[in-house]
Structure 1
């Protein structure tokens, strides 16, 4: 029986990201995927700069930039295509060095993720293999698989299993976890079109608040466009596979472009849901991505949440496997990520309801209120800010109960050395970010613990970040999250870094 430290079930963006991060930490893993090749249909189309930062950590900074395009933000339109409100994002560089929002084609993203994975000898990707069972004992997990072509059965021995196997997750069923409905279900038509013609539309997301049929439009590539329309009871996607019926829905954006110049790539029905698994781990099996949570698409966070899961868990699991972190750190994964995912799902529900619900009355309210939203102090910043909530308090997020501070937040990926940013300097290790000069004893302790010392200059972005958080020193984890922050650089600050915790990197 083949034995491997980590088996990853599913080779979508979440599974491929987890595998790459583990390989960067020197962990051998096997990725099992039921399909022989990349699923060709586009699904996810948007990500923010926090997740763009993760892709850069994988080594895909330039390759993702080549297949993506920044988007300007969000426009709220009424049924007559009049702009009710507009929220613009920074398309140059946000706090992490990337556009605050980017559009892309998921098959293209998966292509570069797979190609990048080939750089790591520690990872094996097997397609055409369906996982049929997971059985745990004290020493590991037996993974039962079936070859989808020959029907041949086999078993693999794994130290840990990461279930990145989607909404119908076998991994979730194997640990007895169930999805809890968070009270949002809508049926939508999803349409992807390719054309060489220029639609001459605003380069952002258009949200159509039409009480008869809500809709969304966005450009996702040089020649690729997506529309989503809420389905009326009794309708299905089959009703719109004929261009004669589909064209009236998209013609508000395509205008006089001949139908012959519009190539329909896909017409599909999706049920947008808000769901969260009641537990994300049982001993050696973890759930990531859609196996653990489903987010309505209104804020473009569905795929993003899965990549955040992988980023959170990979360095902890690597530390445990290398015997340099206690296994108890794995308990922090669900504590931190579950509450964050819940917050993003609630936000997506709120935005979706505000933009699409209420029928004619809702339309009247939006026409009256939306044009005045920019007058509400701070609302525009709230609507355009790509920053997501801090992680919940855990053994790896040390936050005082009476003040929030910087702990749990993602540290900005600011320039710290010439043209190098924090992630380039830290290189997957713990970092001590401080505006103070450490004593010789503290400096020696930082070196012993394998951490990176980053001194920030007065007036620099990180210095302003520390001041805003009422801190002068912060411990930043390998995933960029602040473990703790203090008003002084103290021995207890440095002691928050596990000794040799980053040796594997």
Structure 2
């Protein structure tokens, strides 16, 4: 019998977007969690600029989507233009099928993080947060992880947990303690990031604009809450010393027609782009998330979001393991499932960067432009290629389930996720799923505390207790398109099994 004493089930190292997302999930499910953040105050600089409908669906799962959305603006569209005003490409956003929110939002990251942190305050009985505390080293054995903590009073203590999540950014001490190497490159070019507050409107300010130029490509972004951002590369002969004051910054903005009549400058900083990843994201009982595991250029707007998605992928599995419904081996699926998606967005960012820097010919652009407009890669619906899924060759398996407006069996209108919550559930397409499942299959899934629902059309009669009515037939049509009569859906809304094989997947990877 294991008599080891733990200070918590899970430690979160770093309280940025990945860490605060993880804390909300674990807190919601009653997992005893301890959080260490070296900074005493919320980081005030806006780094990320956007969130998608997929990320908003993650926030919906922790009951914070409406709270964060009130401080966001729907993204109007993207455009690529030259300094002479020639428009290379324009791209809009189609309606979302993933939830109740638009496909893309412009954000102001400090405000979004503040709201997410307030969300964790709902779980004070389960989540302890220590600001001003540095995790000096991380060590582990087969049963626990030990963290060497230097607290805000510079006193040292040891904390023992079952699992630890390294959410401590690109210079992660967690990764360093585990001797996990970073592979990839850091681009030599240094960029200045300029943040401003809007004083008056200017032409097309609402469009996320990429100024395409070989020498001075610029990202020109309307953030929410009346903020605006420019990201501008320094030329080879320029240094940070050349842009220390607002007077030195203004000529960069003037070249795009922006003056002190339009905006008030309030801060700027310098950084380099990275295309790097950790050699592995799991070492025993310790996991790397977000920038600690992978870094990408900003062109696809997916860096911060990838860390949040890491947290949602890993933490529902930790909940299942800690509640002894799944074996620990399911945690091995974390990197298997997340790494291909992160690599996809990394390559999208790299290729979009080539367009912004005018590193593609006009002939190439004539081919790429229509493709980008027709199927914007930044809006590609997520899929799981391998991991805790059954028979990914099936049409529906590995895809994320659409979320239409539906009603429950009593006629209460809402969105699908609000009815199914974040359980594993089996959904029958106009049929009771248990009628097409064998007794053995039902027994396998019941071990995971699954729920069963019957999806009905508005024209159908229900049973009155486990019915979900697809009032516009949106989900019914999608399931028919994928030839699926029954699907099993994970807490993160990815389909794990369907008609071809309704057996529970293996926990071996």
Normalising by the residue count of structure 1, what TM-score does the alignment of the two structures yield?
0.88
Asked whether the equivalents of residues 213 and 358 of structure 2 are also in contact (C-alpha less than 8 Å), the reply is no
CA change 1:183–1:272 in 2 (3 A) is: closer
Which residue of 2 is the match for residue 480 of structure 1?
493
Pair 1:408-2:411 in alignment: no
* Residue in structure 1 matching 2:191, options 188, 191, 212: 188
Which residue of 1 is the match for residue 482 of structure 2?
469
Asked whether the equivalents of residues 237 and 267 of structure 1 are also in contact (C-alpha less than 8 Å), the reply is no
The CA deviation string for residues 67-97 of structure 1, in whole angstroms up to 9 with x for no partner, is 111112210101212222100114x654322
CA change 1:355–1:485 in 2 (3 A) is: farther
Cα deviation for residue 137 of structure 1 reads 1.1
What is the rounded CA distance, in whole Å, between the counterparts of 1:255 and 1:292 in structure 2?
Answer: 37
Asked whether the equivalents of residues 97 and 404 of structure 2 are also in contact (C-alpha less than 8 Å), the reply is no
Which residue of 1 is the match for residue 416 of structure 2?
422
Which residue of 1 is the match for residue 44 of structure 2?
40
Question: What RMSD in Å do the two structures reach over aligned CA positions?
Answer: 2.5
Which residue of 2 is the match for residue 502 of structure 1?
none
What is the rounded CA distance, in whole Å, between the counterparts of 1:297 and 1:126 in structure 2?
Answer: 30
Which residue of 2 is the match for residue 434 of structure 1?
428
Pair 1:87-2:91 in alignment: yes
Pair 1:106-2:109 in alignment: yes
Which residue of 1 is the match for residue 320 of structure 2?
319
What is the rounded CA distance, in whole Å, between the counterparts of 1:87 and 1:170 in structure 2?
Answer: 40
Cα deviation for residue 497 of structure 1 reads 11
* Residue in structure 2 matching 1:391, options 375, 384, 389: 384
Asked whether the equivalents of residues 2 and 155 of structure 1 are also in contact (C-alpha less than 8 Å), the reply is no
1:48-447 matches, within 5 Å, as: 48-90=52-94, 93-120=96-123, 121-148=125-152, 150-181=153-184, 186-255=189-258, 257-258=260-261, 262-358=263-359, 362=360, 365-366=361-362, 370=365, 376=370, 379-383=372-376, 386-394=379-387, 396-400=388-392, 403=393, 405-417=395-407, 419-438=413-432, 445=442
Which residue of 1 is the match for residue 31 of structure 2?
27
Asked whether the equivalents of residues 46 and 110 of structure 2 are also in contact (C-alpha less than 8 Å), the reply is yes
Cα deviation for residue 45 of structure 1 reads 1.5
CA change 1:111–1:295 in 2 (3 A) is: same
What is the rounded CA distance, in whole Å, between the counterparts of 1:256 and 1:145 in structure 2?
Answer: 48
Asked whether the equivalents of residues 91 and 372 of structure 2 are also in contact (C-alpha less than 8 Å), the reply is no
Which residue of 1 is the match for residue 465 of structure 2?
none
Where 2:502 maps in the other structure, the secondary structure is helix
Asked whether the equivalents of residues 250 and 259 of structure 2 are also in contact (C-alpha less than 8 Å), the reply is no
Normalising by the residue count of structure 2, what TM-score does the alignment of the two structures yield?
0.88
Where 1:352 maps in the other structure, the secondary structure is helix
What is the rounded CA distance, in whole Å, between the counterparts of 1:455 and 1:6 in structure 2?
Answer: 37
What is the rounded CA distance, in whole Å, between the counterparts of 1:13 and 1:108 in structure 2?
Answer: 11
CA change 1:315–1:254 in 2 (3 A) is: same
CA change 1:51–1:145 in 2 (3 A) is: same
Where 1:493 maps in the other structure, the secondary structure is coil
Where 1:380 maps in the other structure, the secondary structure is helix
Cα deviation for residue 131 of structure 1 reads 0.3
The CA deviation string for residues 87-126 of structure 1, in whole angstroms up to 9 with x for no partner, is 0114x65432211111111111111111111001211111
What is the rounded CA distance, in whole Å, between the counterparts of 1:74 and 1:244 in structure 2?
Answer: 29
What is the rounded CA distance, in whole Å, between the counterparts of 2:186 and 2:38 in structure 1?
Answer: 31
What is the rounded CA distance, in whole Å, between the counterparts of 1:250 and 1:184 in structure 2?
Answer: 24
CA change 1:110–1:282 in 2 (3 A) is: same
Which residue of 1 is the match for residue 461 of structure 2?
none
CA change 1:372–1:284 in 2 (3 A) is: closer
Which residue of 2 is the match for residue 501 of structure 1?
none
The CA deviation string for residues 165-209 of structure 1, in whole angstroms up to 9 with x for no partner, is 000011111222111106856422111111322234242210011
Cα deviation for residue 486 of structure 1 reads 2.4
CA change 1:352–1:373 in 2 (3 A) is: closer
Cα deviation for residue 242 of structure 1 reads 2.5
What is the rounded CA distance, in whole Å, between the counterparts of 1:84 and 1:344 in structure 2?
Answer: 22
What is the rounded CA distance, in whole Å, between the counterparts of 1:384 and 1:332 in structure 2?
Answer: 25
Asked whether the equivalents of residues 79 and 207 of structure 2 are also in contact (C-alpha less than 8 Å), the reply is yes
What is the rounded CA distance, in whole Å, between the counterparts of 1:320 and 1:424 in structure 2?
Answer: 24
Deviates more, 1:52-61 or 1:180-189: 180-189
Structure 2 unaligned segments of length 5 or more: list them: 458-469
Asked whether the equivalents of residues 186 and 273 of structure 2 are also in contact (C-alpha less than 8 Å), the reply is no
Asked whether the equivalents of residues 6 and 30 of structure 1 are also in contact (C-alpha less than 8 Å), the reply is yes
The alignment covers a number of residue pairs equal to 479
What is the rounded CA distance, in whole Å, between the counterparts of 1:130 and 1:237 in structure 2?
Answer: 29
Pair 1:493-2:505 in alignment: no
